[in-house]
A and B are shown apart, each in its own frame.
Chain A
Amino acid sequence: MTTVPGRPPLVRRSDRFIAGVCSGLAAHLGWPVRNVRVAMVLASLAGGAGVVFYAWLWIMVPTADESARRQARRPPSPIAPAVSREPVPGAVPRATAAAGPGVALPGAVDGGPGAATAPPASGGYPAAGEAAGQASEAARPWFRFRDMRYGKEILLGVGLLLVAGILVAQLLGVDVPLGTLIPAAAVLGGASIAWMQLDETRRAGLVDKTKADQAGGWARLAAGLALVVAGVLVMVSGSGSWEQTWLALLASVAVLGGVVLVLLPWALKFWRDLEAERAGRIRETERAEIAAHLHDSVLQTLALIQRRAANEHDVVRLARAQERELRGWLFEDPGKDAGQLSDRIKAVAAEVEDLLGNAVEVVSVGDTAVTEGHEALIQASREAMLNASRHGGGTVSVYLEAAAGRAEVFVKDRGPGFELQDVPEDRLGVRESIIGRMNRHGGTAAITSTSEGTEVRLGFPVAPQDSTEGKP
């Protein structure tokens, strides 16, 4: 446990002041973050070497997200684990389990010597770094918000201190080249703002293209650009006259325009290629997901069916179960609330189908949330379906209607039928589990049986709190 399995890769991390370079570097080198930051600031004072180094790393080093995404072989599918039901290995080291597949970072948390001194934010980091983890999306804004606010205050303080230092130096008679410093600062600041924007765009673009804060992003980009352009202009033209400055500006704009004109087709083509590649990758991901699902469910069932080919009953049962599972996966309405009454009835129908092998077709109209009283309805329906499947011996039709004020379930089979009076007193299935249960809970139950089939009708008034609409 004490041996370091290897250096964590150099990535920019999300606990950051500016771009996460220092904390990433610290994790990579195994040093405390604070030392790296101080060293960077000191290096910056030495002729700006630190700034250049920082900027270089900012450009060259990917963020943790990007790195994780690049390394992820197969995107984690939300369906595959549920379908394959592979036993989750319990002995997985904690950090690996927390980080999920594809993220090589957790070594920094539990293996690196700097782990003990790591700031609190890095403890929660692996969760945020999960490549496509849905939960981490919720956590991320919180980190960003906190870190950015903190960073802004620090930056502001540093800036004010710098200005104060310059003023004091001037008062003391030291000649500070303000004419160079201010434009240089403007260029640096503008570049930082623009680059931060690039970071955000990259991250947001990979998560979701239609982001709400696009306008703000553009504003920041424009502000950064304006700062840089103004700084460069002032630096180049020195303290020259306005006339000169305007001429220079005009010339630069003309040159830039010409360059854009020449490069635009290439840029557009490049952009289109990029988009096409991206679309291709998304398709590939989807394909892999579907393939994984089909492998885990359909192929397994087909193998089972081949082995049990002699037993017709088993084959039908397997085919029905697989059909149900596949339908659920293909046609499920993701916008619908789970756990509604129709879902429960369908689940019960599936159970009966598995148990007795006869098809149970459920048609549902409308839906409602399951209340306590509905449990009785569900249980009575189950009993009715069991009876219908057992004695009817064919397809059972179930119809659920949950309209304003009332939930009704009809269970119909095409069996030989029976007379309620003929059922022996000690058989409680119909009398107790269906009729008695419904009556006790304030519902109704009626049974019609002819030689062509039996139908059980169950009715249940809606819960009092929903009864504002009333029955039409």
Chain B
Amino acid sequence: MNAAQGAGTGPVRTARSARVVIVDDHAIFRSGLKADLDPSIQVVGEAATVEQAIAVIARERPDVVLLDVHLPGGLGGGGREVIAGSAALLATTRFLALSVSDAAEDVVAVIRAGARGYVTKTISGAEITDAVYRVAGGDAVFSPRLAGFVLDAFGTAPADIADDELDKLSARELEVMRLIARGYSYKEVAKELFISIKTVETHVSAVLRKLQLSSRHELTKWAAERRLL
């Protein structure tokens, strides 16, 4: 309904409205986030625990779930458990992880569970709105820190042709990840590499897929060292 108004904050989306569920155990943070979000985003539900979250998501079937990594309840798995509990909806409902945590194991665990991106809780209202639309549109949202984790996990050497495509990043993907880690927005990455924003998004999604699916030896080792698996 506010298509024209929202279009100014970020890249133009086809549908400028999204139904969102906020999952966070801090009521103050939930209300603050709700106030920060663009009016075009409709918050259809809130939850504070793993059980509540799974129930609310199953009932509301939102476009995007803003999911805190650390949540009480369930078996102690936090956000990861919410995604696992909503696995049947993954095709239509996208998860965006929100965290104050810097710990690689927390962040990568939710991503590997199926989240489409990760942003820190200090992010501004405009940025989170943009991230919600990006995730709703099927793209991945990488913060500089997540890009840093990815580069750390996959290594900074480009893939040879002989390598399993899941196990290493291509030269282009590495470039994109590096620029994101350096603080570039997708638009700036596109400009820097003389490619379209759509291509940047494709690369980032490919990296996300690799991060989720790779069983690469180094990734396993890297994760184990950080007590991930």
Contact = CB atoms under 8 A, between A and B. Distances in A.
Asked if A and B are interacting partners, one says: yes
Interface of A: 327, 330-331, 333, 335, 359, 361, 363-366, 397, 399, 401, 403-404, 410, 412, 452, 455, 472
B139 to A, nearest CB: 21
A359 B183 CA distance: 13
Given A331-B103, A363-B145, A452-B188, A399 B152 contact: no
Contacts of A366: 152, 156
A274 B32 CA distance: 48
23 contacts: A327-B102, A335-B225, A359-B122, A361-B183, A363-B144, A363-B148, A363-B181, A363-B182, A365-B151, A365-B152, A365-B156, A366-B156, A397-B182, A399-B178, A399-B182, A399-B183, A401-B151, A401-B156, A403-B157, A404-B157, A412-B182, A412-B184, A452-B188
B93 to A, nearest CB: 29
Interface string B152-168: 10001110000000000
Interface in B171-219: 178, 181-184, 188
A472 B101 CA distance: 33
Contact of B181 (A327, A359, A365, A472): A365
A331 B107 CA distance: 13
A399 B102 contact: no
Contacts of B145: 361, 363
A401 B144 contact: no
Given A361-B144, A363-B144, A410 B182 contact: yes
Contacts of A403: 156-157
Nearest to B157: A472
A215 B88 CA distance: 52
B108 interface: no
A399 B156 contact: no
Contacts of A331: 101-103
Contacts of A330: 103
Contacts of B101: 331
A131 to B, nearest CB: 29
A410 B148 CA distance: 13
Contacts of A452: 188
Nearest to A396: B183
A399 B148 contact: yes
A359 B122 CA distance: 11
Contacts of A412: 182-184
Nearest to A413: B183
Contacts of A365: 148, 151-152, 156, 181
Nearest to B152: A365
A364 B149 CA distance: 9
B147 interface: yes
A472 B160 CA distance: 11
A327 B103 CA distance: 9
| Nearest 3 Cβ contacts at the A-B interface | A397-B183, A363-B148, A399-B182
Contacts of B226: 333
Nearest to A406: B156
B126 to A, nearest CB: 13
A455 B178 CA distance: 14
B30 to A, nearest CB: 20
Contacts of B103: 330-331
Contacts of A335: 225
Interface in B96-137: 101-103, 122
A163 B225 CA distance: 59
Nearest to A327: B102
Nearest to B145: A363
Nearest to B105: A331
Nearest to A455: B182
A432 to B, nearest CB: 24
Contacts of A410: 182-183
A410 B178 CA distance: 10
A334 to B, nearest CB: 12
Contacts of B183: 361, 397, 399, 410, 412
Contacts of A397: 144, 182-183
Nearest to B226: A333
Most buried by B among A365, A401, A412, A472: A365
A410 B181 CA distance: 10
Most buried by A among B122, B144, B178, B183: B183
A343 to B, nearest CB: 15
Given A365-B148, A399-B182, A401-B178, 20 more contacts: A330-B103, A331-B103, A359-B122, A361-B144, A361-B183, A363-B144, A363-B145, A363-B148, A363-B181, A365-B151, A365-B152, A365-B156, A397-B182, A397-B183, A399-B181, A403-B157, A410-B182, A412-B182, A452-B188, A455-B182
A164 B95 CA distance: 85
A452 B184 CA distance: 11
Contacts of A399: 144, 148, 178, 181-183
A410 B122 CA distance: 22
Contacts of A333: 226
A326 to B, nearest CB: 10
A364 B148 contact: yes
A172 B175 CA distance: 98
A455 B183 CA distance: 10
Contacts of A472: 157-158
